[in-house]
């Protein structure tokens, strides 16, 4: 049962991160298309957001390893 829980946790974390990254990048591209002069500021904010979203699957993997270790 622990292996199933670990697999579900990692899978959902990866799915959520993929959706989140897609939304962040698409909104950044829309913002750059509307105001090209803000490109560098928008890209910086996008990279920070993507990095924070990518932390979610890493935490999911850590939790999965903890569950499998018990």
**With helix as H, strand as E and coil as C, how does 9-49 read?**
HHHHHHHHHHHHHHHHHHHHHHHHHHCHHHHHHHHHHHHHH
What pLDDT score was predicted for residue 17?
A: 94
The per-residue pLDDT string of the chain (70 residues; one tens digit each, 9 = 90 and over) reads 878 888 888 899 999 999 999 999 999 999 999 999 999 999 999 999 999 999 989 988 998 888 888 7
Domain borders along the chain are: 1-69
What pLDDT score was predicted for residue 66?
A: 87
What pLDDT score was predicted for residue 58?
A: 92
What pLDDT score was predicted for residue 36?
A: 95
What pLDDT score was predicted for residue 15?
A: 94
Q: Of 28, 50, 52, 27, nearest to 41 (Cα)?
A: 28
Confirm or reject CATH 1.10.230.10 for domain 1-69, answering yes or no.
no
């Amino acid at each position: 049962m622990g292996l199933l829980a670990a697999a579900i946790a990692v899978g959902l974390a990866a799915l959520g991160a993929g959706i989140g990254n897609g939304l962040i990048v698409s909104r950044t591209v829309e913002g750059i298309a509307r105001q090209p002069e803000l490109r560098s500021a928008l890209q910086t904010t996008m990279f920070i957001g993507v990095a924070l979203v990518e932390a979610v699957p890493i935490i999911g993997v850590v939790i999965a390893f903890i569950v499998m270790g018990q």
